[in-house]
C-alpha cells in the first residue's frame, strides 16, 4: 500500500526514486551503527561480568573478615574503629562519545589510591579488621569501573533499541511504501502512454479514412 496519495507525474516519480535512494542509504547506515553498538555492548557485558565476579569475591572476603572481627572484638570498639574513613576518595567525572551516545567516564584520582591508613589504634582491634579494611580499599577501583560500565551498558541498550526501531520502520514501512508509490506512478504513466498511443492510432486511422473519401 502506498504511504500517501501521490500524483502520477514524471516529476513525482523522480522525487520518489530519490527518496528511495536516501532511505536505503539511511537504512544501511543505521544497520551498521546498530551492529557496531551491539558489538561494543557485548564486549562491555563480558567485562562487566568479569569485574562483578572479582568484586563479589573480594567483598565476600571482606565481609568474612568483618564477621571474624566482630566475633572477637568488643562491639563498641569495632564501631569506634570504623567510625572514621580510612581514606578520602576523589573521583574525576567526564563523558565520552560511543557511536553518538554520550556515556560517563569515572576515574579515581591517583592520590586516592594510596594505601589506606588505619584511623584507629591497634590495641583493641584484630588483624581481621585490618585485612577487611585493606580488602575494601583494594576493591574500590573495580567498583568505580563497574559503575561506569553498567551505566554505559544501560545507555547503549536504550540507543540500540531506538536504532532497531528506526531500522525496522525504514525496512518494513518506509522503503516498501516508497517502492509501492514508484510502482503506482509507473503503472499510471504507462497507462497514460498506452492511452495516448491508442488515441494517436485512432486519429491516424480517421485521417486515412478521410483521405479515401
CA dihedral 57, 62, 68, 72 (to 10 degrees): 170
Distance in angstroms (rounded) separating the CA atoms of residues 151 and 19: 37
Do residues 96 and 150 make contact, with C-beta atoms less than 8 angstroms apart?
Answer: no
Mean confidence (pLDDT) of the chain:
84
Distance in angstroms (rounded) separating the CA atoms of residues 30 and 163: 7
Whole-number pLDDT of residue 71: 81
Least confident of 16-20, 130-134, 146-150, 190-194: 130-134
Q: What is the pLDDT of residues 105-131, one digit of tens each?
A: 998 876 655 555 555 555 556 677 777
Amino acid at each position: 500500500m502506498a504511504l500517501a496519495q501521490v500524483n502520477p507525474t514524471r516529476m513525482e516519480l523522480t522525487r520518489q526514486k530519490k527518496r528511495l535512494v536516501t532511505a536505503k542509504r539511511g537504512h544501511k547506515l543505521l544497520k551498521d551503527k546498530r551492529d557496531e553498538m551491539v558489538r561494543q555492548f557485548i564486549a562491555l557485558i563480558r567485562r562487566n561480568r568479569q569485574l562483578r565476579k572479582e568484586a563479589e569475591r573480594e567483598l565476600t572476603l571482606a565481609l568474612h573478615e568483618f564477621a571474624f572481627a566482630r566475633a572477637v572484638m568488643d562491639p563498641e570498639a569495632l564501631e569506634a574503629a570504623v567510625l572514621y574513613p580510612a581514606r578520602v576518595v576523589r573521583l574525576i567525572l567526564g563523558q565520552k562519545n560511543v557511536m553518538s551516545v554520550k556515556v560517563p567516564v569515572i576515574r579515581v584520582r591517583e592520590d586516592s589510591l594510596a594505601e589506606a591508613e588505619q584511623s584507629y589504634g591497634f590495641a583493641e582491634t584484630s588483624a581481621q579488621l585490618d585485612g577487611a579494611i585493606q580488602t575494601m580499599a583494594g576493591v574500590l577501583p573495580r567498583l568505580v569501573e563497574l559503575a561506569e560500565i553498567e551505566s554505559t551498558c544501560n545507555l547503549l541498550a536504550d540507543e540500540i533499541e531506538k536504532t532497531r526501531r528506526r531500522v525496522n520502520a525504514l525496512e518494513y514501512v518506509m522503503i516498501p511504501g516508497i517502492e509501492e508509490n514508484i510502482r503506482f506512478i509507473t503503472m499510471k504513466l504507462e497507462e497514460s502512454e498506452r492511452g495516448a498511443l491508442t488515441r494517436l492510432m485512432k486519429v491516424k486511422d480517421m485521417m486515412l479514412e478521410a483521405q479515401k473519401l
